[in-house]
Amino acid sequence: MYAFTWSCSIALVLIVVFVLLVRKSLTGFLRDKSTLPVEQRSFSLASTITFYWTAIIILSVCYIGIVDDNLPKIDNGVLILMGIVAATTTAGKVIDANQSVDKTITRSQDTTESAGFLNDILSDSNGISVSRFQTIMFNLIYGCAFVAIVATQHVLYNFPTETLTLLGISSGAYALLKIPENTAPTVNPQP
């Protein structure tokens, strides 16, 4: 009975928080850090993927707790997936932080206003990016599969090594291709 009560409570709190965040234009937690006002900043792919998987896993645990009145076992595949997501987000934040202090770089995040959620997460400073599209598609496909398994089998899907490798490669490609997004020098260095 405790699993059911806690699961319902957590799910309800998450839904209320999500609705409040959406009503406030997702404040700043899904947006890039930049010098622009919060409502003008572009949306961050890394932060979006972190939120996406965190919400899926927490709501899945709550769902299983509500339906089965027992919390599910969290297998290594789920933990490794969250590690990949955390590493990707961290890499993106480190790259952004390093570029924001480099006075020879004009970051697109500081000069370009949001063009809408989907356009922002699909685009880098050069337009729509194949690596970003690939990252989004793989995460959407595996997220939907994860939810379907949770709904039908009442277990957290234990991602196989091959799937985690694919998600890791896709996330790694995104992070590596993020590095040159803002590397064009705009100021001539002093001799």
Distance CA 41, CA 160 (A): 37
Q: What pLDDT was estimated at residue 111?
A: 81
Give mean pLDDT, residues 41-46: 87
**Cα→Cα distances 184→7, 125, 173, Å:** 49, 11, 20
Element (H, E) at 128: strand 127-128
Q: What is the domain extent for residue 98?
A: 2-182
Q: Per-residue pLDDT for 154 more than 80?
A: yes
Q: Per-residue pLDDT for 132 more than 80?
A: yes
Q: Per-residue pLDDT for 162 more than 90?
A: yes
Q: What pLDDT was estimated at residue 84?
A: 92
Is residue 173 domain-resident? yes
Q: What pLDDT was estimated at residue 153?
A: 93
Mean per-residue pLDDT of the chain: 82
| Rounded percentage of the chain residues whose pLDDT exceeds 70 | 85
Give the chain's end-to-end CA distance (angstroms, integer).
71
Is residue 133 domain-resident? yes
**Cα→Cα distances 7→53, 56, 122, 144, 191, Å:** 18, 14, 34, 21, 62
Is residue 167 domain-resident? yes
Is residue 187 domain-resident? no
Is residue 63 domain-resident? yes
The tally of domains found in the chain comes to 1
Is residue 189 domain-resident? no
Is residue 13 domain-resident? yes
Is residue 34 domain-resident? yes
pLDDT for 74-130, tens place per residue?
999 999 999 999 998 898 888 888 888 888 877 778 888 888 889 988 988 778 888
Closest CA to 105 of 175, 25, 185: 185
